Amino acid sequence: MKLLFTPFSIIAGLIAGFLSKKLFDAIWGVIDDEEPPDSEHREINVGKLALAAAIQGAVFTATRKLVDHEARRAFERTVGAWPGETRPEPE
């Protein structure tokens, strides 16, 4: 089943990357008028860099997880089988 899900997963990953970039840009636009600082920029505020990285990481991870889950739901509706585990294993 995992092999059949691979194309769904690749497409979902591309969609998640696109959506998370747009969402991060929108959120950062509310925080600051300048583009988000990057580690390759020489003159930046390190605190602002850390804030941008934290927001970007959270947005990307949440978007990726939500899109992946929805891709799995679509796969299940299409094929009739869930590509993965049903629930987390107890600790």
Interval 69-87: pLDDT, tens: 999 999 999 999 999 888 8
Instruction: Give domain limits for the chain.
Output: 2-79
Residues 6+ apart with CB under 8 A from 27: 55, 59
The structure's pTM equals: 0.84
Task: Give the separation between CA 14 and CA 85, rounded to whole angstroms.
Answer: 23
Q: What is the pLDDT of residue 46?
A: 94
Judged against a pLDDT cut of 80, whether residue 60 lies above it is answered with: yes
Query: Residue 34 is inside which H or E element, if any?
Result: none
Judged against a pLDDT cut of 90, whether residue 11 lies above it is answered with: yes
**Portion of the chain with pLDDT greater than 70, in percent:** 100
Q: What is the pLDDT of residue 86?
A: 83
Q: What is the pLDDT of residue 45?
A: 92
Average pLDDT over residues 25-51: 94
Residue 33 DSSP SS3: coil
